[in-house]
Structure 1
Amino acid sequence: MRNYIVTALFLPLFTLAAPLWAETESERLTRWLDDRYEEELAFSPMGLTELGRKQQYDQIDDYSEAALDAELAWQLGTVDDLRERFDYGALEPEAKVSYDYWVYRAERASNQAKWRRHDYVLDPVTSSHTDLPQFMINYHKVDTVQDMRDYIARLSGVARALGQLQARAAVAAGEGIRPPRFAYGVVIEQSRGMITGAPFENEGNPAPLWSDVLAKTAALREAGLVDDAQMQALRDRARAALVDEVGPAYRTLIAWLQQDRANADAQARGVHGLPDGGAYYAHRLRQYTTTDLSAEQVHQLGLEEVARIRGEMEAIREQVGFEGDLDAFFEYVRSDDRFYYPNTDAGRQAFIDETRHYLELIEDKLPQYFGILPKAGLEVRRVEAFRERDGASAFYEPGTADGSRPGVYYMHLSDMRANNRTDLQTTAYHEGDPGHHMQGSIALEREDLPLFRTNVWYSAYGEGWALYSELLAWEMGVYDNPYYDFGRLGAEIFRAIRLVVDTGMHAKGWSEERAVRYMLDNSAIPEASVRSEIQRYLVWPGQATSYKVGMLKILELRERAREALGDDFDIRDFHDLVLGGGSLPLDILERRVDEWIAAG
């Protein structure tokens, strides 16, 4: 430090503001990308909160089309600036990935904007109407009095956002774009749940947001940060925001949904029935698979994978000595009581406890297959009552890079007959380690990548990795129950079935019942879950295809590397490479692996 200061004293004045070392083009790019990503994050106060930051902590995102247009214009402008400022040929390979990835995201956003109104704004899966309260309850931490003031301000933002979502749904409906009628019923029911009970009604249990207000203000009182009078004043302000703003916004939304529901299709159909539906679905496949696969190619891939996996399932049927055919075995696994916990609180807790057991079982084996392990904790929880649905899929929500909030594996347990135990172990590895939790946490914890690469998510990569993790867990030798191994194959054929039914409904005109029957005929999944899944695909076209497409690409790249490197191949290095670059489009991931192979 002393030498640095002495040297600086003799520098010409105009050089004092310049760095005393020469940045490489790659370092300069990383700094530029981080600066731009900070600008991008400023468009989403909620995104900042989800990253554990208390910036714009009193604001809710702007859901209007005008806000989306403004962000897109900014994003496209950054690409022009990027191309003007940097010499691509002077970048190191990893920096070229970052450069190409930034451009890819902007081009993807531009393509998405063309179809924005085709995306259902209000449906049971993307669930903006419940995500807003869920965000307030699970993400807005209240550690100080100012945090609670910000919470109350955000309640006004929730009301405004609900109105913006309703306005966009109404514009789309005016263009003949509506989800199937069943989606209206679910959204209405869930929205009513947000305003059932106190303070929206004179009696009954506290509504979800009011319950959260009571808990968070009580915590401030227990911490000695407010006295009784101050706590009550905060509660009074929150009550006013809920009663005067949030409640009316939900009631207005419900009334519009009830009025428009009659215009929606009573018999659900895929997006082929929307204006320009074929082109829209082709776009959705490109977005979700990050490939150029056509609907017909995806459909055929699904049929081939279903046939292959059925063969492996037959082997397990024979191993356990079941005398009937595979269809009868599906029905046995689907219906026999031995494969279910009771539909009681004790049964639900047993399901959670067994899930935790299998996550602990695999933890000791992870260092044999990974050089980099996540630092963040993982919790297993039941979905909150206000957003729990019978038969709905389990899911994962990431923690923060600093570990202040753990990753959470959520399960819908309201109907235990929709939770077959043969699926339990596999789903734990998909949602937890080595699946979503490991992938998401390792990306968040990387400090040597541009920040955007640690946070961005692509379904083909993320869901592909999670499905690959189910197979990897089997390769790690943690399955000791043939029925649970059958469940693993059931989970894989489930994703292969998705290729068939998603393209069937959205590109080939399949009915909802035909899709339900195909899934029941080729899996042991309980019928309640099957029907819930098929409705999910109807309102979320293309997303269900990303899992198998991504998994097959990762397997293809692993075997390519194994063959090319021979004895020098190390599975830990391969996994660290795949996870260490963040969530990448599949073609960029493939290039990254090929460069690693070439480097030997």
Structure 2
Amino acid sequence: MTGRREHDQVGDRSDRDQVWAIADGYVAALAVHEPDAAQALGRDNGPLLADIGPAWLLERYALQRRTLADLDALPPAAGDETLRAALRERVERERLLFDTGFTTRLVAGLASPVHLIRYSFEGAQLTPDAASVRLVARLRAVPRAIGQYIDTLRWSRAQGLAGRFSGTGVAPVRQIDTLAAQVEAWAADDWFGSLTVLEGADAAHRADFRAAAEEANTALRGLTEFLREDLRPSAPTADGVGEAVYGDLAAAMLGARIDVADTYAFGWRELERLTDEATLLASPLGGTGADPVRSAADILDSDPRYRLEGIDAIREWLTLRVHETIDAVSGTAFDLPPAVRDVECIVSPSSAGVVYYTPSPPDGSEPGRIVWTIPSGVPAAATWQEVSSVHHEGVPGHHLEHVMNASNLGLHPWQRHLCHIHGYAEGWAHYAEQLADELGLIRDDAERLGLVLGQIWRAVRIVADIGLHTGWGIPSNTLIDDVEWTPEVARRLLVERALVEPALARFEVDRYLGWPGQALAFKVGARLWHDARDAWAAERGDAFTLRDFHREALGFGPMGLGPLRRLLLRD
């Protein structure tokens, strides 16, 4: 039985399918408060920004309880089996995240609610048409959204003190300091006011835009003050969440329960194996001395075959490589919808120095975007180490997976547009990096060294994330002599073994500490994808093809990796 269902158009489905009717009701309730849900239903009058206040978060928690009860009331075989499995797992896990305190206390350096507000304006432009009116209205909604975030953090603190959560109600000091510094810089740099204003935008709209940007900056400064003066004195100094809470958070991030101890051992095995592989690759590339991998990397960084100078050159290379990869995988490893070519490549000066993907919104009003950030004042890059980032964020990674799911009209709108699971998405994207090598998209040993270094990076994520949050010791190994985890040990592993820049290594470790379990989504998620593929291939023997597996697996749509495996192997 294939995961891709050839049903008629989504319109009257809920009349005949009880699970779809439940999902319809769930999304309709979300749509009153969340723009993505409104867009998923085809509505153009949804909220300007997502409601992130405590009243809605509590209401959503209750809505999820009612949704689970409605699913439980159905006969065992009733309705869409795939949607039922996906919806049940995600609603249960989101309630679990709330119960730990993670949802309401979230302060982190990567994807806290205020980051999501900012990301919703990424690439936005003030245009000469009516769209500029809604953009200004959205910008004017930023202060209210930031106020809701502050209200939620206050509420979470009070609930934590009352013992409501299995974890704490306030994020650690390290995360508060990190976010406060980021938000302060956004206001100082006038980030919202720096959005592109196209020629022809009239003076009134420009003035409204400028005033709205100033209001957003004022709200950002207010958030900075709240974080430092109000929340920080209540914050714990310990970073780790503890073994029991960590297991719950990892399950929520992956959409699957794992043996954390076994995963910790797997991470160490992979870290040692990949380090040996990098050393073998380095020597033919010119690596010498006590650290041949770094020596080879220094040579490659200055090699004109791999060096890009200037933002335009980086953008052109990124765009070309993405579209060449689309051509290479189409019709061989995947059946791709035409919309996969609708992707915008952006190069943005930023202190982050990372590559990331923002999907097209449910209404398709903007394309998916691959954003390559480079440190300000350093418009240069070495491609040999970034090819895997292109495959991870673009094709066959995030962009391909997102477009295939959004194009699958056999999926309920909730699953197509709103079911976001780190293990599914990041696990797929890391699987895609390795798949790219299987498909011959890694063109030489220099790019392969970049691939292996990226895998080392993700292996460090496993051991550091588990060790820092559980307090487990460092086992005997061939790489470091330390026996206890500290943030500095984790940073040193990233710098010395994955060749991560020191500033990025600091950001990375702070990220792990603020988002417990999310770091497993990459390499552990890919492990679960590979395990499912291997089991599926073993059932089919010589009849197995990658194209068939990808059609089947992606045809089920986004869901937790636990139910995905069960559905894949049920026959």
Change in CA separation of 1:322 and 1:362 when aligned onto 2, cut-off 3 Å: same
Is 2:268–2:463's contact at 8 Å kept on the other side of the alignment?
yes
Counterpart mapping for 1:218-233 below 5 A: 219-221=200-202, 231-232=203-204
CA RMSD of aligned residues (A): 3.4
1:253 equivalent in structure 2: 223
Higher helix share: 1
TM-score by length of 2: 0.83
Q: Is the 8 A contact 1:281 1:541 kept in 2?
A: yes
Counterpart of 1:47 (choices 36, 39, 44) is: 36
Q: What residue identity is the alignment partner of 1:432?
A: G
Does residue 499 of structure 2 align to residue 534 of structure 1?
no
Tell me by how many angstroms 1:26 deviates: 9.9
Match of 1:489 among 448, 452, 474: 452
Asked whether 1:215 is paired with 2:197, we answer yes
- When Rg is computed on C-alpha atoms for both structures, the one with the higher figure is 1
Q: Structure 2 vs 1, CA of residues 330 and 549 (structure 1 numbering), >3 Å: closer, same or farther?
A: same
The offset of 1:463, in angstroms, is: 0.9
AA in 1 matched with 2:270: E
**Could you list the per-position Cα deviations for residues 518-573 of structure 1 after superposition, in whole angstroms to 9, with x for gaps in the alignment?**
22343233333222211211212110111111111221222222222122112101
Q: Is 1:28 aligned to residue 17 of structure 2? A: yes
> 1:512 touches 1:534 (CA, 8 Å); kept in 2?
yes
What do residues 222-241 of structure 1 show as CA deviations (whole Å, max 9, x unaligned)? Answer: xxxxxxxxx42x44545555
Q: Could you say which residue in structure 2 is the equivalent of 1:281?
A: 246
3-state secondary structure, aligned to 2:440: coil
1:104 is aligned to 89
* Amino acid in the other structure paired with 1:370: F
One of 309, 317, 321 as aligned partner of 2:282 = 317
In structure 2, the CA distance between the partners of 1:30 and 1:170, relative to structure 1 (3 Å rule), is closer
Unaligned runs of 5+ in 1: 1-22, 198-206, 222-230
1:169 matched residue in structure 2: 153
Question: What SS does the corresponding residue of 1:433 show, helix, strand or coil?
Answer: coil
Aligned partners of 1:36, 1:548: CA distance in 2, in Å?
35
Aligned partner (choices 168, 178, 192) of residue 184 of structure 2: 192
1:194 is displaced (CA, Å) by 4.0
The Cα shift of 1:302 comes to: 0.4
Aligned runs of 1:63-102 on 2, under 5 Å?
63-84=52-73, 86-91=74-79, 95-102=80-87
| Residues 270 and 507, structure 1, Cα contact 8 Å, conserved in 2 | no
Partner of 1:408: 369
Q: Is the 1:398–1:406 Cα contact (8 Å) retained in structure 2?
A: yes
**Alpha-carbon separation, structure 1, partners of 2:321 and 2:347:** 17
Offset at residue 264 of structure 1 (A): 7.7
Q: Say whether the 8 Å CA contact 2:288–2:296 is kept in structure 1.
A: no
Tell me the distance in 2 between the aligned counterparts of 1:68 and 1:287: 17
Alignment match, 2:405: 443
CA distance in 1 between partners of 2:357 and 2:289 (Å): 37
Matched-pair contact (CA < 8 Å) for 2:352–2:374: yes
Kept in 1: contact 2:13–2:20 (CA 8 A): no
In structure 1, how many angstroms separate the alpha carbons of the residues matched to 2:38 and 2:70?
28
Q: Distance in 2 between matches of 1:40 and 1:420?
A: 47
Distance 1:260 1:332, change over 3 A: farther
Displacement of 1:358 in angstroms is: 2.6
Q: Report the counterpart of residue 160 of structure 1 in structure 2.
A: 144
Between the aligned partners of 1:314 and 1:247, the Cα distance in structure 2 is: 48
Counterpart pick for 1:347 among 310, 315, 323: 310
Residue 553 of structure 2 is aligned to residue 578 of structure 1: yes
1:79–1:257 CA distance, 2 compared to 1 (3 A): closer
Identity of aligned residues (%): 23
Which residue does 2:335 correspond to in 1? Answer: 371
After the TM superposition, which residues 557-572 of structure 1 pair with which residues of structure 2 at under 5 Å, given as runs?
A: 557-572=532-547
Any stretches of 5+ residues in structure 2 without a counterpart? 1-11, 162-167, 473-484
Aligned residue pairs, count? 535
1:516–1:530 contact (8 Å) kept in structure 2: yes
**Structure-to-structure mapping, 1:375-390, within 5 angstroms:** 375-376=339-340, 377-383=342-348, 388-390=350-352
SS at match of 2:346: strand
Residue aligned with 1:382, SS: strand
How do 1:319-338 residues align onto structure 2 when only pairs under 5 Å count?
319-320=284-285, 322-324=287-289, 328-336=291-299, 338=301
Alignment match, 2:355:
394
